Every structure is written in structure tokens, then in C-alpha cells.
Amino acid sequence: MFRPPLHPRISTDPFVGYLDTPEIDRRFLLGLSAAGLLGASALTAVIAGLQRGAGRGDWDMRTRVSFSGIISTAPYPHIRVMESGRVRTILLGCETKCGVRERLDAITYAGGAATVTGTLIERDGYAMLAVPDGVGWLDFDQTAPALPQPQIRMLDAAVLTGEILDAKCWFGAMRPNEGLSHKACATLCIASGIPPYFGVRDRRNRERALMITDTAGDPLIDGILPFVAEPVRAQGALVHSDDLIQFRMDPETLERV
């Protein structure tokens, strides 16, 4: 009966479990193991390189700081303060997953001169003050500081592609703070009153985050919740408000990309 010739590098010795591995098989297995390790290392490096960074934000939870200025609840609670001759806007949030609008409503405080105390969350010029539970974080019995009226300037209509973020985590409270791995956390934060932001990249590929409002400049929450932390496209208009840029979004135009 015809038998095809064996490849000269394939061992013809029978396998016996209690004997040493044939030399040819040993060399093959060692080579295969080394190739597997190298391949796994290369794949790990590629996957790691594709991941987005955790961000440069920071939350100094050990240090309480105070800011004196003018509080406003529109479109989301914030305090305007004067620093180095310029107005700075600092958003207000809780140390837990909540905004402060309900707390301000509970004391029928609609805004005005105040000093607010909490822990500061900062990232690349963006800032939020996380106030503690209980009382003592808000002192509104004082003379109003000298601040100019908010400067509102309409920019352009825009169609933007990016991601809906929650301001607190993206500013530095959580890592990771964007992407699908953060979807549940970001959705809960926004639903609880944390201001939503729209993360985009400019022409130089630098990260930017724009405050999301509806087309009238009012808060926008419910209409965006299903799209949080996903790549989306939306139409709206850009509005410059002091040191912030708002993306006045039409939620009916939101679509996944």
C-alpha cells in the first residue's frame, strides 16, 4: 500500500507520555511558545495604544476652599467670581452624585451674592466646586462683589460630532470619565442634576467640552439621557457666555455615529 513520504522535520517517533519529548517536537513547542508570547505582547501594546487617556483632571478632596461671587442657577447652578481681573465660572455640584439645584430650591434661593465652600474639581481651566452635605457650605448674607453683567455672544450654527459627558466626572472626579465604560455613571450623574457637557476635538485635535443646553439656553436633561457616553452627532448653535461656550443643542437631531 502506498504511503506518502513524511516531511523530514516531523518526528516519526510514537508519543509515550512517560518518555522525554522528542528533540524535534521540543524545538517546535519552544518556538511556538515564544511566538505566542511575542504576539500577545504586541497585541496588548496595540490595544493599550488605542485606549483614551484617563484625563488630566484632579479632585482635591482633602482641601476645602471658598469662593465669593454671584450665584446663578441658569442654565445650571454656578458661581461667577473675579480672578486676575477676569470673570471665572465655577459650576456647583455635590460631593455625591447630585447637583445643587434642589438644595437651592429647598431654601428658596434663586441666586445672588454668596460665598460657597467645598472641594475643587479642575481640568484644563474647567472647574466645579463640590459642596458637602448639610449646612455651612453657603453664606449668602453679604455685600455683592463688583462683577460685570454676563457677556452673551452668539457665535455660529454648528453640527458637531462628539460625546455627551457629565461635567463632574470629566472635570476630574472619576477615571475613566468617558466612553461606554462610563455610561452608567455618567447617565446617573446627569439625571441627578450634574450639568451635561459635549466633548469634541478642535482642528488641532485638542479636547474641548461645551456646556449643553436646549435651543433657548435652558437646561437639557431628559432628551439626551439615552445618548450619554456614546459617539453622537447633533445640530445646534454655539454661544459664548463669559468664559464658557454653550452648545445649544436640538435634541431631535441627535443621532448615533
Which pLDDT score is estimated for 53?
A: 43
* Amino acid residing at 145: P
**Dihedral, CA of residue 209, residue 206, residue 201 and residue 170, to nearest 10:** -30
Q: CB–CB of 178/211 below 8 Å? A: no
Q: How far apart are CA 147 and CA 136, in angstroms?
A: 24
Which pLDDT score is estimated for 74?
A: 93
Which pLDDT score is estimated for 198?
A: 98
Which pLDDT score is estimated for 225?
A: 97
Q: CB–CB of 52/179 below 8 Å? A: yes
Q: Which candidate, 148, 83, 142, 150, places its Cα nearest to that of 115? A: 142
Domain boundaries, the chain: 58-139, 152-256
CA dist 239 to 79, 87, 236, 244, Å?
Answer: 19, 17, 10, 8
Q: How far apart are CA 196 and CA 207, in angstroms?
A: 16
Which pLDDT score is estimated for 156?
A: 92
Q: Does the N-terminal peptide bond of residue 75 adopt cis geometry, omega within 30 degrees of 0?
A: yes
Which pLDDT score is estimated for 238?
A: 97
pLDDT one digit per residue (tens) for the chain, 257 residues: 555 555 555 555 555 555 566 676 667 667 766 666 665 555 444 433 444 444 568 999 999 999 999 999 999 999 999 998 899 999 999 998 888 999 999 888 888 999 999 999 999 999 999 999 888 899 987 676 788 888 899 999 999 999 999 999 999 998 888 889 999 999 999 999 999 999 998 888 888 999 999 999 999 999 999 999 999 999 999 999 999 999 999 999 999 99
Fold for 58-139, please state it: OB fold (Dihydrolipoamide Acetyltransferase, E2P) (2.40.50)
Which cell is 187 given?
A: 447617565
